[in-house]
């Protein structure tokens, strides 16, 4: 066997290395000489076993030394090239036009949240929050909703599996709150009247959706408890709110209705171009509810209301379908 001329291979390598301009060229050169499959040096080193002892002794060390040398050379060259690119990029051309940065903006519901908060705060209401995972007690029993009420049905309420009951919830069944009214009880338990709060938040119902109903939506709860509170106080507050929120006076209508946690109870509708739209449930807090929360109902009284926040936003921004709020469609979101 004639053996290999490592010196010649080395010369070829360095000649080719002179023309290297990019990381791709380095990669190609590396593959050509050191590649695991067809690399020139790799092949030589693999075939050493077929050479005579004398050749092995000569070529083996030469090839190995050159392999190391080539690797080092290529590594250094690669580093050098990368630094060159970096240096080039670090030049800042202040006259170049800037890149447009996409700036997000608030979701229409968030805007409505903020606006509601501002209006009620200016009327002296405090903004409080309650948990979205509720116990059956706070969502139903404490609000006087009897166990045979249809709202407690499997088909209206999203119940949670409660195998791992935490001690905080004792033996309570858990659910996703169906309205924000449980916050009334939670707040009254821990605060003495006078009470003047609103509580906005998400609620969940196990129901089919349509243009004005979703299974997940937002409600705004309001509660005012003091000594001489009447429906007239409620009427003033809610008319004032609508006037400021819609920036115009819309006709409203009080319609008698039934909610077990108020007495009397009513629903409030807004007149929109001759069509009445149901906005909220409301009423004077039922004495039993006050007692359930630890308040003396012969001293304290007040009103409560719960309205759909999406419905407010739909009227304000003329949105035809409630499901658009959560559809994640940027063509919708970008209009606000």
Considering only CA atoms, which of 125, 223, 225, 230 is closest in space to residue 183? 223
**Residue 213 catalytic?**
no
User: For ligand FA5, how many residues bind (rule: CB under 6 A)?
Assistant: 25
Active site residue 262: yes
Nearer to ligand FA5, 6 or 322 (CB): 322
284 near ligand FA5 (CB under 6 A): no
> Whose Cβ is closer to ligand FA5: residue 33's or residue 204's?
204
Structure tokens at 155: 């088909």
Half-sphere exposure of 163 (CA within 13 A, CB side): 0
Helix intervals (H) in the chain: 6-18, 23-34, 40-46, 53-89, 108-122, 136-139, 182-190, 231-246, 287-292, 309-317, 330-333
Least distance between ligand FA5 and beta carbon 216 (Å): 8
Query: CA-to-CA distance for 99 and 80, rounded, in angstroms?
Result: 29
75/251 with CB nearer ligand FA5: 251
Q: Is 134 in the site for ligand FA5 (CB under 6 A)?
A: no
Question: How far is residue 198's CA from residue 181's CA, in Å, rounded to a whole number?
Answer: 10
Distance, CA of 237 to CA of 215 (rounded, Å): 29
What x/- string results for residues 213 through 252 when contact with ligand FA5 is judged by CB under 6 A? Answer: xx--x-x---------------------------------
Site string for ligand FA5, 187-206 (x = CB under 6 A): ------------------x-
User: 205, 156 in Cβ contact below 8 A?
Assistant: yes
Give the HSE-up count for residue 228: Cα atoms under 13 Å, Cβ half-sphere.
0
Given the rule CB under 6 A, which of 74-82, 104-112, 125-133, 207-215 is the region that contacts ligand FA5? 207-215
**From 36, 103, 155, 247, active-site residue:** 155
Residues that bind ligand FA5 (CB under 6 A): 179, 181, 205, 207, 213-214, 217, 219, 259, 262, 265, 278-283, 304-308, 310-311, 322
Which amino acids are annotated catalytic? 155, 179, 205, 219, 262, 304
């Amino acid at each position: 066997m004639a053996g290999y001329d490592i010196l010649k291979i080395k010369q070829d390598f360095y000649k080719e290395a002179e023309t290297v301009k990019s990381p791709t060229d380095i990669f190609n050169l590396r593959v050509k000489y050191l590649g695991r499959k067809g690399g020139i040096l790799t092949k030589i080193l693999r075939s050493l076993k077929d050479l005579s002892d004398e050749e092995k002794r000569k070529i083996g060390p030469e090839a190995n030394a050159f392999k190391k040398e080539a690797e080092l050379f290529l590594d250094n060259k690669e580093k050098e090239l990368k630094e060159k690119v970096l240096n080039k990029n670090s030049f800042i051309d202040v006259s170049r036009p800037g890149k447009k940065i996409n700036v997000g903006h608030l979701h229409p519901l968030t805007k409505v949240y903020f606006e509601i908060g501002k209006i009620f705060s200016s009327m002296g209401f405090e903004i409080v929050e309650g948990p979205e995972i509720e116990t059956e007690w706070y969502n139903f029993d404490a609000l006087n909703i009897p166990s045979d009420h249809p709202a407690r049905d499997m088909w209206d309420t999203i119940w949670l599996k409660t195998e791992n009951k935490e001690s905080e919830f004792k033996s309570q069944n858990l659910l996703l709150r169906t309205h924000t009214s449980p916050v009334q009880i939670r707040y009254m338990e821990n605060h003495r009247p006078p009470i003047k709060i609103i509580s906005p938040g998400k609620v969940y119902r196990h129901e089919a959706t349509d243009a004005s109903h979703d299974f997940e939506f937002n409600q705004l709860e309001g509660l005012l408890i003091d000594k001489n509170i009447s429906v007239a106080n409620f009427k003033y507050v809610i008319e004032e709110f609508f006037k400021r929120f819609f920036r115009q006076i819309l006709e409203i209508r009080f319609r008698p209705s039934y909610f077990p946690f108020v007495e009397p109870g009513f629903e409030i509708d807004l007149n929109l171009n001759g069509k009445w739209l149901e906005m909220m449930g409301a009423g004077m807090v039922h004495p039993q509810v006050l007692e359930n929360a630890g308040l003396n109902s012969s001293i304290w009284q007040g009103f409560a209301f719960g309205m759909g926040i999406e419905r407010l936003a739909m009227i304000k921004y003329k949105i035809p379908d409630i499901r658009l709020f959560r559809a994640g469609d940027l063509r919708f979101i970008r209009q606000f």
